Structure 1
Amino acid sequence: MSSTTSSFPERIELSGEGLVLRDWTEADLAAMPTLFDHPDIAYWTPIVSPFDEVAARARLDLDRKLRAEGTTILLAVTVDGGAPLGEVMLRRAPEGTELGYAIGPAHRGRGLAARAVRVMTSYAFEQLGAGQVILELEAENAASVAVATKAGFGLLDVPLITGEEKGRPYALQTWGLNRPRPSASPKLSSGTCAADIADTNRHEQQRSRPILGARQGRAQPGGPLRHRSRVINLIGMWSELKTRVKTANRPSTRR
């Protein structure tokens, strides 16, 4: 973490869109495998597979380490602060602010991913001062493309991010959402992250510069996923936070 990067709060809870995004705790360890030990997650994301309780513990430990370093936030997606239904990630680096997400198979089809992305995007704009938030996903991942579109993101005119992971090649598109103009910025009440990002912001997307620099990610046992936002239903979020070598025209934030 650079000397200019501020640390994240020790505890974070964001509310909006009918969701509560909260910190992961030891009480969630038993539930994590049911959310993330699935063929879709294994295929579309860098998350370790199989994903058991040992992997869950390793990921929780790494989550806390990265939070303390001020680089990454991993939050459980819930509807009331209770049982976790999936995860949303925010990773900040000199290249930009990236989001990733992953929803458990039993909880898909409810719009959880798009809603969680909107809430986290508002947090990035209003609390972290991000100028642009990005998602990285594979064009073939129709469900992930739908999440990006519903959350108000637009496809950026930048080179594809290519590489190989888990024995197969990937090519990631970069989708972005710019910070709303001051007059359109949603107000945040104390302890709450408003997620009403103006739809008109999508049309303000400027063809952005390529995101430079290697992304954190890749398979560290149980590590957060580096979200190549190519999510299956939003599964793609997890940064396995293991340094991923980005070959190609530019590095990626693969999800």
Structure 2
Amino acid sequence: MTANLLPWPEHPLAGDRVVLRRADERDVAMARSLSTDPYVPAIGSLPPDATPEQARAWIARQRDSRDRGAGYSFTIVDDQADAAVGNCGLWLRALSDGRATAGYALAPGHRGRGLAGDALRTLTAFAAELPGLHRVELYIEPWNSGSVQTAESAGYGREGLLRSHQWISGSRRDMLLYARIVK
């Protein structure tokens, strides 16, 4: 089955403290907040210090990710506050090999409360339901202890260090490989 044929979930995905839903107009402020973090624009398509129009364009790209065959992009909503706090995604470029890559980011001001871990666990449970998918991988820079903690809290195990693995902000970067077998 190709990635562009996988259905979008009928209902938002519910975790213990977060809900993962499809991005929409309500997410402009969250996207603009995410864009103020110097690292988030360096690793994704959200421009630094995004204008409202740039945030809307980014949201449109997140909404269309499944239709383009790239994977699923979800807005992370703090269930208690009913507020968008970040974004996570499941990227299916290697689905033919049974693998996917996940990513997550919380807007500044919403970090350190376990929301990213809950979002990653919820995303991983969704991944386990996708036909043909058996493994989800994370690539984390070694300095990013918050992301390492998030991965480990969601049951991902460290598999190794990939030297000079990814191009970020004009230089090759080492990446830790974390993975979880879902089937």
Tell me if TM exceeds 0.5: yes
Q: Provide the C-alpha distance between the structure 1 equivalents of 2:131 and 2:117, rounded to a whole number of angstroms.
A: 20
Map of 2:2 onto structure 1? 4
Cα offset, 1:17, TM superposition: 1.9
How far 1:163 moved relative to its partner?
3.8
**Residue of structure 2 equivalent to 1:20:** 19
1:37 match: secondary structure: coil
Runs of 4 or more above 6 Å deviation: none
Instruction: Give the match's secondary structure for 2:123.
Output: helix
User: How far, CA to CA, are the matches of 1:68 and 1:35 in structure 2?
Assistant: 24
Aligned residue for 1:91? 91
Take 2:177 and 2:171, find their aligned partners in 1: how far apart are those partners? Answer: 19
> What is the number of residues matched between the two proteins?
177
3-state SS of paired residue (2:56): helix
Identity of aligned residues (%): 28
What is the aligned partner in structure 1 of residue 28 from structure 2?
Answer: 29
| Rounded Cα–Cα distance in structure 2 between residues aligned with 1:73 and 1:53 | 23
C-alpha distance in 2 between matches for 1:168 and 1:161: 9
> Are the counterparts in 2 of residues 161 and 172 from structure 1 also a CA contact under 8 Å?
yes
Q: 2:137 aligns with which of 134, 138, 148?
A: 134
Instruction: Using the TM superposition, give the Cα deviation of residue 92 of structure 1 relative to its aligned residue in structure 2, in angstroms.
Output: 0.7
Please report how far the alpha carbon of residue 128 of structure 1 lies from its aligned counterpart in structure 2 after TM superposition. 4.3
Equivalent position amino acid for 1:113 in 2: A
Letter paired with 2:143? E
SS of equivalent residue, structure 2 residue 84? coil
Unpaired stretches in structure 1, ≥5 consecutive residues: 181-255
Deviation by residue 1:125-176 (Cα, 9 ceiling, x = unmatched): 0244420111001111111111111111111247445243223331112110
Letter in 2 for 1:176: A
**AA aligned opposite 1:48:** P
Q: Secondary structure at the match of 1:67?
A: coil
Match of 1:120 in 2: 123
The aligned amino acid for 2:2 is T
Deviations 1:103-143 (A, max 9, x none): 01111111011110000001000244420111001111111
Helix, strand or coil at the partner of 1:68: coil
Between the aligned partners of 1:161 and 1:12, the Cα distance in structure 2 is 39
**Matched residue, 2:37:** 38
Q: Which amino acid aligns with 2:69?
A: G
The structure with more strand, counted as a fraction of residues? 2
The 8 Å contact of residues 37 and 52 in structure 1, kept in 2 or not, is answered as no
Q: TM-score, structure 1 length as denominator?
A: 0.62
Higher relative contact order (CA 8 A, sep 6+): 1
Give the drift of 1:40.
4.3
Distance 1:31 1:153, change over 3 A: closer
- What is aligned with 1:78? 77
Distance in 1 (CA, whole Å) between partners of 2:161 and 2:144 is: 19
Q: 167-176 vs 142-151, which deviates more? A: 167-176
Q: 5+ unaligned residues in a row in structure 2: which ranges?
A: none
For 2:174, the equivalent position in structure 1 comes to 171
Once residues 126 and 163 of structure 2 are traced to their aligned partners in structure 1, the CA distance between those partners, rounded to angstroms, is 27
Q: Which residue of 2 aligns with 1:67?
A: 66
Question: CA separation in 2, counterparts of 1:74 and 1:7?
Answer: 13
Q: Are the equivalent residues in 1 in contact too, given 2:17–2:115 (CA < 8 A)?
A: no
Q: CA deviation at 1:51?
A: 2.2
